[in-house]
Structure 1
Amino acid sequence: MWKDWFFYTRSQRRVIVLLLIILVLLLFLMVGEKANKDKVEIAAEPLLIADSLYCKIEKERQERERNYKNRTYRKNEWTAFEKKKSPDTVVYEVRKPKKDSLRFPGQEKYSAGIVIDVNSADTSILKKIPGIGRVISKNIVSYRNRLGGFYDVGQLLEVKYVDSTLLVWFQVKSDVFRKINVNKASIEELRSHPYMDFHKAKAIVDFRRKRGRISGMSQISMFKEFSDGDISRLSHYFTFE
């Protein structure tokens, strides 16, 4: 068959070649179109999956919003209870506690008029005072131990969460139970007191090293690191034996 090629004229051979080229191009176009169609179908499959997941997530979100709108929260009480208005609606009322003053079943509270010693009461006694719970009672005892005792009930206001309404329950019956010997205490012991800091403690230790013993608060009042308020407060906690 290919031998017949030589019997065609030049113009006939050109027409045949042109037809073959057109046929090859058509085949390439058909193959390319099919490949693109397959790609589009493959690319569309993840999109369909993602769209399905999004619809599911969106449906769940809308369901949660509907459930949330059926609940009304009122933060005016501490104990929680529910009141059924309809089979689908529940109203919750929540009582908000005042600071630390939560009453638990069986917890006894003092009645008005009782006054306790601020320097001897332990946490179990402190928790019987209305307005004082576990946190405030621990704060009072911890701060009292750091001070060495209270000399005035007003010092309770230096304790975290204690306000002036609680002072009526206290009085100072016993004196400060621990004092600092200014002439023997180390710089760490001096600075650990709530009314002291590193600079005050260093001033005392430096004076002792250079000039010897300190005779009293009048001598410390000459130190620039101490204010009149510091002298007044620390006079209850310093001893010069």
Structure 2
Amino acid sequence: MNDWKDFFYLSIGERRALILLLILIAIGLILLIWGDILYDRQQAAAPVATERTEPPIDTRAADRPAYASPPSDSRPRHTAYRRSYRRESLGERVRRLTDRRPHYPHREKLSPGQTLELNAADTVALQKVPGIGPYYARRIAKFRALLGGFARVEQLSEVYGVDEEKYTELAPWFTVNPRLIRRLAVNRLSEDSLRRHPYINYYQAKVIVRLRRKNGPISGWSELSLLEEFSDADRARLEPYLSFE
């Protein structure tokens, strides 16, 4: 029954430590309360500034010569810039920030009746034709390089991406000079070089080299026409491009 008394029993040393701790806590509370009281008294005693103090007057300023400020008309005005400036509307800003299409520089187009020589025009000149932009200009130039030049305007329809409607739109703007074509030296080129031409396939290039090894240099179309690999249509397409020298 006396167990609870033993629980609260403290030795002399423990009692002294407990009393010291209580004293320190009391001192701390007193200092805290006293500090708040002193702070409130200082705030109440501080003077309230009701009037703005004027800066000291420099008496030496009266002895200095007075200079008039330059007239407002003498100051530079950027009226021309202000007149030319136009604030961007909300719709224009939205279009500018959301339009991700590539913007190409404006190029002057040919007038009706003007034409271009198809074998001499570079990609910049080709873009002067209405309906031709950078894409079609590169395609036409690439196919022309593979051919060695255009023999007829109708070959534009063979360019990748040029359908019948596009060809009808482009054809009136061009002329062709066949003398600008780079011909293939049939008796000197290798099989690989021959078949790079768009109009010569693998079997035709192979039979040309075989005939050349067997009978010597090929004299002309009279020999190629005897081969089953070359039809009349092939001769019509290839004749402007082959040289038998």
What TM-score, normalized to structure 1? 0.56
Displacement after TM superposition at 1:107 (Å): 2.2
Cα–Cα, structure 1 residues 103 and 127, in superposed 2: closer, same or farther, change >3 Å?
A: farther
The equivalent residue for 1:185 is 189
Match of 2:225 among 216, 221, 224: 221
Match of 1:237 among 212, 237, 241: 241
Whole-Å separation in 2 of the counterparts to 1:230 and 1:219: 14
Whole-Å separation in 1 of the counterparts to 2:219 and 2:143: 28
2:151–2:177: 8 Å Cα contact kept in structure 1?
no
Q: Give CA deviations for 1:167-193 in whole Å, capped at 9, x if unaligned.
A: 000011352431111111100111000
Whole-Å separation in 1 of the counterparts to 2:132 and 2:161: 9
Matches within 5 A, 1:140-179: 140-162=140-162, 163-164=166-167, 165-173=169-177, 175-179=179-183
Q: Name the one with the larger strand percent.
A: 1
Cα–Cα, structure 1 residues 174 and 197, in superposed 2: closer, same or farther, change >3 Å?
A: closer
What TM-score, normalized to structure 2? 0.55
Whole-Å separation in 2 of the counterparts to 1:103 and 1:130: 17
Q: Give CA deviations for 1:73-118 in whole Å, capped at 9, x if unaligned.
A: xxxxxxxx969xxxxxxxxxxxxx9xxxx99553211121111100
Hey, which bits of structure 1, 4+ residues long, moved more than 6 A? none
The equivalent residue for 2:6 is none
Show structure 1 runs of 5+ residues with no match. 1-80, 84-96
Displacement after TM superposition at 1:220 (Å): 0.5
Moved more, 174-183 or 131-140: 174-183
- Matched pairs, number: 147
The equivalent residue for 2:110 is 110
Match of 1:204 among 199, 204, 208: 208
Whole-Å separation in 2 of the counterparts to 1:153 and 1:103: 30
Whole-Å separation in 2 of the counterparts to 1:114 and 1:190: 36
Q: Give CA deviations for 1:5-38 in whole Å, capped at 9, x if unaligned.
A: xxxxxxxxxxxxxxxxxxxxxxxxxxxxxxxxxx
The equivalent residue for 1:119 is 119
Percent of aligned pairs with the same amino acid: 44
Q: Give CA deviations for 1:37-72 in whole Å, capped at 9, x if unaligned.
A: xxxxxxxxxxxxxxxxxxxxxxxxxxxxxxxxxxxx
AA partner of residue 113 (structure 2): G
Displacement after TM superposition at 1:197 (Å): 1.1
Alignment RMSD (CA, Å): 2.5
Displacement after TM superposition at 1:166 (Å): 0.4
Q: Which has the higher contact order (CA 8 A, sep 6+)?
A: 2
Between structure 1 and structure 2, the one with the greater Rg is 2
Cα–Cα, structure 1 residues 111 and 104, in superposed 2: closer, same or farther, change >3 Å?
A: farther
AA partner of residue 199 (structure 2): Y
1:176–1:236: 8 Å Cα contact kept in structure 2?
no
Whole-Å separation in 2 of the counterparts to 1:108 and 1:149: 25
SS of aligned partner of 1:175: helix
